Homo-oligomer: A and B are copies of this chain.
Amino acid sequence: MSTARIAYDDKLERILRIAAEVFSEKGYHRASIRDISRATGVSLSGLYYYVDSKEELLYRIQEHGFGTLLANLDELLAGVTDPHRKLRLLVENHLRYFVGNMKEMKVLSHEAESLTGDMREAVDAMKRSYSRIAKEILAELSAGEPAIDLRVATYSLFGMMNWIYNWYHPDLDVAVEELAEDIHRLFLRGFIGREDADMPPGAAEAAPGDTRPSIWRR
């Protein structure tokens, strides 16, 4: 019974992972269930044993990706009070997962509007709490006198980070560590205005290398 459950979960996970690849390559609407059937080796109707609809496939991919991103951020931020450190951890967490799961993250970033109804709302809610965390960190960081509109700053940060699926190639470009460092520095100096003022020692250092290569296996 338990081994059957595990087999079921494994197969579902495999379907989701491959579906994410197909969606990221062709786009959600252009990709057909038949494409996913072909890519997974599971028959057309067989897919419907694991999932109720094509939309649920997209939902579970987004839910899974965003859930992991959020959970890991919570874990990383636990006990940390210094906002400089928090920002650094957020950027690093975000980019590490983005680069480590480019296909899935492209689907998260690019297919935001492809969900409808309750599933759309559920994912949007996660997105809202994620950006609220970021916005609060920036508010602490600017401490009273934000020279730059907080909404503009928050979404500029996300823009820098989420845009990478449009250009970043792990083979050609700088490694993730440097990418995270560059984007962190770019944003922080721009936002704070003065270089590293008030920053406690170690706040800008990289987090210990907790790689966790795939969101599908923890």
Contact = CB atoms under 8 A, between A and B. Distances in A.
8 contacts: A27-B29, A29-B30, A149-B182, A152-B179, A156-B186, A160-B163, A185-B190, A190-B190
Of listed A155, A187, A189, A191, residue having the most chain B CB within 10 A: A189
Contacts of A164: 155, 159
Nearest to A189: B190
A147 B156 CA distance: 20
A30 B116 CA distance: 13
Number of copies: 2
Interface of A: 27, 29-30, 110, 112-114, 147-149, 151-153, 155-156, 158-164, 166-168, 173-174, 178-179, 182-183, 185-191, 193-195
Given A114-B27, A189-B189, A189-B190, A153 B166 contact: no
Given A27-B113, A189-B193, 17 more contacts: A29-B30, A148-B185, A149-B174, A149-B178, A149-B182, A151-B174, A152-B173, A152-B179, A152-B182, A152-B183, A153-B182, A156-B183, A160-B160, A186-B190, A186-B191, A189-B189, A189-B190
Contacts of A167: 151, 155
Contacts of A160: 156, 159-160, 163
Given A29-B29, A159-B162, A188 B185 contact: no
A172 to B, nearest CB: 9
A138 to B, nearest CB: 11
Contacts of A158: 163
A156 B156 CA distance: 9
A171 to B, nearest CB: 13
